[in-house]
Amino acid sequence: MSKNKSSECVKVVVRCRPLNRKEDTNGPAGGIVQMDLKLGQVILRNPRAPPSEPLKTFTFDAVYDASSKQRDLYDESVRPLIDSVLDGFNGTIFAYGQTGTGKTYTMQGAWLDPEKRGVIPNAFDHIFTHISRSQSDKQYLVRASYLEIYLEEIRDLLDPNHANTRLELRESPETGVYVQDLTSCVCKSIKEIEEVMNMGNQARAVGATDMNEHSSRSHALFLITVECSQPGPDGRKHIRVGRLNLVDLAGSERQAKTGVQGERLKEAAKINLSLSALGNVISALADGRSGHVPYRDSKLTRLLQDSLGGNAKTVMVATLGPAPQHYDETLTTLRYANRAKNIHNQPRVNEDPKDALLREFQKEIARLRAQLNHRKWRNKQKKDGDVWDGDGDEDTAGEEDYDEKEGEDYVTLEEQRLELEKEAIRGDRFLLAEEKQRLLGEKERMMGDLRKEQEATEQLTAKYKAMESKLLVGGKNIIDHTNEQQKMLEIKRHEIAEQSRSEREMQQQMMVQDEETLELRETFTSLQQEVEAKTKKLKKLYAKLQCIKTEIKDVNDEHVRSRQELEQTQNQLTRELKFKYLIIENFIPPEEKNKIMNRLTFDPEEDQWKFQPLVQSESKSSQMKKRPTSAVGYKRPITQFARVAMTMGPRTRYRAENVMLLELDMNPLNISSPDRYSESDPAQSPSQDSSPCKDTGVCKSNSWCQSQKSLKSSSSNGSLVACQTPAVAQ
């Protein structure tokens, strides 16, 4: 892997959605969020504060107001990241914000309206258009996966059985943290990748009773892997792998934990666990002083480990609502976003990683092609009359490409030839009938072989074609409908986006510099002027000080609030713990408790306590013996003698099997002779038979031949009846 030492910050952009109809009519006039698009600033007004209180200002890489277009956000803030992914970098885009502020709108948008398509569909277009326009010596393989994290469990949304399977996170030095056994679909076109997305969205919707409720509590991650192979200067094919994570996070609002208990408390604690862990990770990284970054605290932070402080390029889209009633949440989101700006990543290109699937595909395709060419070469040898004996020069076989048409022609010709030969044999009057038969049989066999061979070739060709079609070749596989004019338009749009971005950066820098150099540039002609200027400056600094003071007060208030909440949760958990202790101490014998305690171990990977197996799997000798498989047709192993006894009818003297069957419930009414019962009237209920066993010495229970009606309550007995009755009938 090539290492690029230069680090870059997480790019943070903020988007504010328009006031919705309800907020427009209900709330006080206007929103509380103002934006300076040129400077990339968000100005927030506290609706509860007196008008004299200064407004809060935050500066970001870019800001998008209510009138912003999806396309503008994509071109300016996302396009460069996708370009990097296509060059082999890892990239992440995540939307963060309160529920209902437009995370899903930004990430997905309205698919059918070209104006409202979000980041994900635009990224699909971008990736496949890029592939179609790239040079023809490039080969691509695009894969997609879709997962969600709900209550700290990872679900594979592309697996039809996702509701029952929980995936685990694993770590490897090669790829970092990954999800084990996650479904990944190879996609050849925009349509295919859209289908994958739809499939996952449907699985998400089906799993939830209320989609909005569900989506505000679960994190959705759509992962795209783009592998690109290109010949390098050394003549060898090099593979670059770019991984793109598109993340729609759960709503960032606080979940109320107060007043809930038991399972609901655990659930509420887990819902925001990932988000608070994300907050802690961001704080630790932004702070830069604390050595420990708590990635392992949640599944989400482990999955985003590369994206935050790792080797990926990251864009965070913080979404806001302009309504005054959500002031607190909006401020928290802005603070969160502001902190994330300080995270440094070290992006690097993934070159020739060991796990590149494209390499596997290329190898497999080459192997299949060689096999097909070998067949062609063998057919050719046979056609030329030179029967292949297996030690020809096989190397030449791979040189020419296999031609399907040629293969078919060869088979038709061979068939015709064999048919003619058969006709000739049939028409040959000098041959003996026996000899004729033998020769015809031989030809028949040859024809069979030929057909088998053809079938095998067809299968091989189909496999080869299927494999090859999965690889996208630059400038070939996808029909590019875009004409030159459109291409030019796109380039211009891209240039404009770049320009406005650099303009904004320059203005931000100038603003900072202005403040710093103002003092240096000032020369005062009179004392009065100096006093005026300094008073002005003092006022400015005083305003700043007030701002910072309120900021400190806000942060303190927030800390107090969250501490109180944590204390409440702790109290509730302690109460539950005491309750469990009480049960354990009073109802579980100490020796049993010790046994259980000794067997328990904590698995940090799965964040769960686990029972160690009683029998160590290594020591085979101490393993419990498996029950032998029963003789065919019997429920259990049975001796030969017993089998013979059974065939002789129910009145055998020595039964050898089931000599005595005891009824669990020894109701005297239920005791009767099985022999009598089964012989006289099988439909008769044994409970009606009140006579005790007279003709046998041993009083046997009839549980094994009772009618099903009387045994309905026990399924195991039912199966015994089903199994035993035919044996008795024999």
Residues tagged in the binding site annotation for ATP: 97-104
Binding segment toward ligand ADP, per CB under 6 A, in 98-106, 153-161, 305-313, 523-531: 98-106
Numbers of helices and strands, H then E, in the chain: 20, 19
Which of 661, 654, 653 lies closest to 703 in space, CA to CA?
661
11 versus 17: smaller Cβ distance to ligand ADP: 17
Binding segment toward Mg ion, per CB under 5 A, in 212-220, 365-373, 412-420, 465-473: 212-220
Binding segment toward ligand ADP, per CB under 6 A, in 101-109, 359-367, 486-494, 572-580: 101-109
Out of 41, 59, 84, 104, which residue is the one contacting ligand ADP (CB under 6 A)?
Answer: 104
Out of 77, 99, 122, 301, which residue is the one contacting ligand ADP (CB under 6 A)?
Answer: 99
329 versus 675: smaller Cβ distance to ligand ADP: 329
Out of 101, 134, 314, 703, which residue is the one contacting ligand ADP (CB under 6 A)?
Answer: 101
By CB under 6 A, tell whether 118 contacts ligand ADP.
Answer: no
220 versus 358: smaller Cβ distance to ligand ADP: 220
- Side chain identity at residue 274, one-letter code: S
Match 């189909």 to its residue by tokens: 462
Report, in Å, the least distance between residue 554 CB and ligand ADP.
Answer: 23
Query: Rounded to whole angstroms, what are the CA distances from 592 to 319, 598, 599, 600, 611?
Result: 54, 10, 11, 13, 14
- The footprint of ligand ADP on this chain (CB under 6 A) covers a number of residues equal to 13
90-97 and 237-248 beta bridge pairing: parallel
Out of 77, 90, 101, 104, which residue is the one contacting Mg ion (CB under 5 A)?
Answer: 104
Buried b (16+ CB within 10 A) or exposed e, 533-554: eeeeeeeeeeeeeeeeeeeeeb
- 330-369 binders of Mg ion (CB under 5 A): none
**Contacting residues for 12 by C-beta, under 8 A, at least 6 apart:** 60, 61, 315, 316, 318, 337, 338, 340, 341
Which of 116, 59, 123 lies closest to 318 in space, CA to CA?
59
- The pattern of x and - marking residues 238 through 277 that bind ligand ADP according to CB under 6 A reads -------------x--------------------------
* CA within 13 Å, CB half, 553: 6
Report, in Å, the least distance between residue 252 CB and ligand ADP.
Answer: 9
Match 């989400």 to its residue by tokens: 300
Give the Cα separation of 616 and 600 in Å (integer). 14
335's contact among ligand ADP, Mg ion, none, with CB below 5 to 8 A by partner kind, is none
Report, in Å, the least distance between residue 75 CB and ligand ADP.
Answer: 16
Phi and psi based region of residue 261 (left: phi greater than 0; alpha: psi -120 to 50; beta: remaining): beta
By CB under 6 A, tell whether 17 contacts ligand ADP.
Answer: yes
Report, in Å, the least distance between residue 550 CB and ligand ADP.
Answer: 28
- The pattern of x and - marking residues 203 through 242 that bind ligand ADP according to CB under 6 A reads -------------x--------------------------
**Total residues belonging to the chain:** 730
100 versus 347: smaller Cβ distance to Mg ion: 100
Give the Cα separation of 209 and 218 in Å (integer). 13
Which of 124, 21, 97, 12 lies closest to 58 in space, CA to CA?
12
Give the Cα separation of 531 and 538 in Å (integer). 10
Out of 31, 40, 102, 121, which residue is the one contacting ligand ADP (CB under 6 A)?
Answer: 102
By CB under 5 A, tell whether 215 contacts Mg ion.
Answer: yes
Report, in Å, the least distance between residue 511 CB and ligand ADP.
Answer: 27
Assess contact for 93 and 304: CB atoms under 8 A: no
73 versus 82: smaller Cβ distance to ligand ADP: 73
By CB under 5 A, tell whether 106 contacts Mg ion.
Answer: no
90-97 and 312-320 beta bridge pairing: parallel
SS3 219: strand
By CB under 6 A, tell whether 100 contacts ligand ADP.
Answer: yes
* Residue 720 tokens, joined: 């015994």
- The footprint of Mg ion on this chain (CB under 5 A) covers a number of residues equal to 3
SS3 38: coil
Write down the H helix ranges in 225-314: 262-271, 273-287, 299-303
Binding segment toward ligand ADP, per CB under 6 A, in 52-60, 103-111, 140-148, 275-283: 103-111
Report, in Å, the least distance between residue 254 CB and ligand ADP.
Answer: 15
By CB under 6 A, tell whether 474 contacts ligand ADP.
Answer: no
Binding segment toward ligand ADP, per CB under 6 A, in 102-110, 515-523, 684-692, 711-719: 102-110
14 versus 282: smaller Cβ distance to ligand ADP: 14
Out of 11, 45, 79, 103, which residue is the one contacting ligand ADP (CB under 6 A)?
Answer: 103
SS3 440: helix
121's contact among ligand ADP, Mg ion, none, with CB below 5 to 8 A by partner kind, is none
Report, in Å, the least distance between residue 222 CB and ligand ADP.
Answer: 14
19 versus 179: smaller Cβ distance to ligand ADP: 19
17's contact among ligand ADP, Mg ion, none, with CB below 5 to 8 A by partner kind, is ligand ADP
| 631, 637, 639, 642: CA torsion to nearest 10 | -90
Report, in Å, the least distance between residue 248 CB and Mg ion.
Answer: 6
Binding site members: 97-104
Report, in Å, the least distance between residue 454 CB and ligand ADP.
Answer: 56
132's contact among ligand ADP, Mg ion, none, with CB below 5 to 8 A by partner kind, is none
β-bridge mates for residue 177, sequence order: 171
DSSP string over 627-658: PPPPPTTSSS---HHHHHHHHT-TT-S---SS
Report, in Å, the least distance between residue 42 CB and ligand ADP.
Answer: 15
18's contact among Mg ion, ligand ADP, none, with CB below 5 to 8 A by partner kind, is ligand ADP
DSSP string over 602-631: EETTTTEEEEPPSS-SS-GGGSPPPPPPPP
Report, in Å, the least distance between residue 105 CB and ligand ADP.
Answer: 3
Angle formed at CA 443 by CA 439 and CA 448, multiple of 5 degrees? 145
Report, in Å, the least distance between residue 66 CB and Mg ion.
Answer: 18
Report, in Å, the least distance between residue 112 CB and Mg ion.
Answer: 18
Asked whether the CA dihedral 618, 624, 625, 626 is positive or negative, the reply is negative
Phi first, then psi: give them for residue 46, nearest 5 degrees: -85, 115
**Contacting residues for 692 by C-beta, under 8 A, at least 6 apart:** 668, 671, 672, 699
Which of 417, 392, 402 lies closest to 457 in space, CA to CA?
402
* Residue 665 tokens, joined: 């419930």
The kind and range of the H/E element at 346 are: none
- The pattern of x and - marking residues 157 through 186 that bind ligand ADP according to CB under 6 A reads ------------------------------
17 versus 335: smaller Cβ distance to ligand ADP: 17
β-bridge mates for residue 228, sequence order: 140, 240
**Contacting residues for 171 by C-beta, under 8 A, at least 6 apart:** 177, 178
Out of 31, 40, 97, 322, which residue is the one contacting ligand ADP (CB under 6 A)?
Answer: 97
* Residue 535 tokens, joined: 């008073």
62-64 and 56-59 beta bridge pairing: unpaired
Out of 58, 89, 96, 105, which residue is the one contacting ligand ADP (CB under 6 A)?
Answer: 105
* Residue 320 tokens, joined: 């806001």
Report, in Å, the least distance between residue 117 CB and ligand ADP.
Answer: 13
- The pattern of x and - marking residues 357 through 376 that bind ligand ADP according to CB under 6 A reads --------------------
Q: Give the nearest residue (CB) to Mg ion.
A: 104
Residues in contact with ligand ADP by the rule CB under 6 A: 17-18, 97, 99-105, 216, 251, 319
Residues in contact with Mg ion by the rule CB under 5 A: 103-104, 215
